[in-house]
Amino acid sequence: MEDPQVYLLWHARHLVVEDDGSIIHTDPDGSLHLDEEEWRLLGVFRDEATAAAHLAAARELPGFRDEPDCFQISPMLPDEDQWTDGYFTVIHGRHGNGEHI
């Protein structure tokens, strides 16, 4: 039986520049640093190997090649809701609805 999962290929562009001009891309354990980043969805693929091939090609493109280790392949089941609890936005120490946090 065919794998029911699809594979999403993402890229994170990190927005925070440290005082010394550097950008933190990965944490000490090698995982992707998650703090103030923009995510781009490059594609949805039928199998992980195809997603990996597209990742390798994207690493050579302008912009992506500046952050070559900031890709992520995420498996996902079709027709599965990923936002079941909603969300809120924090703006300068307040929720998007104006409440202090």
Mean pLDDT for 74-85 is 91
Backbone angles phi, psi at 32, to 5 degrees: -65, 130
Q: Percent of the chain, pLDDT > 90?
A: 42
Q: Which two tokens stand for residue 12?
A: 């994170």
Q: What pLDDT sits at residue 101?
A: 54
Short-list 61, 74, 72, CA closest to 26: 72
Is the per-residue pLDDT at 11 higher than 80?
yes
Report the predicted TM-score, pTM, of the whole model to 2 decimal places: 0.73
Q: What percent of the chain lies above the pLDDT cut of 70?
A: 86
User: Tokens representing 23?
Assistant: 């950008």
Q: What are 31-64's pLDDT values in tens digits?
A: 777 777 789 999 999 999 999 999 999 999 999 9
* Strand partners for 13: 38
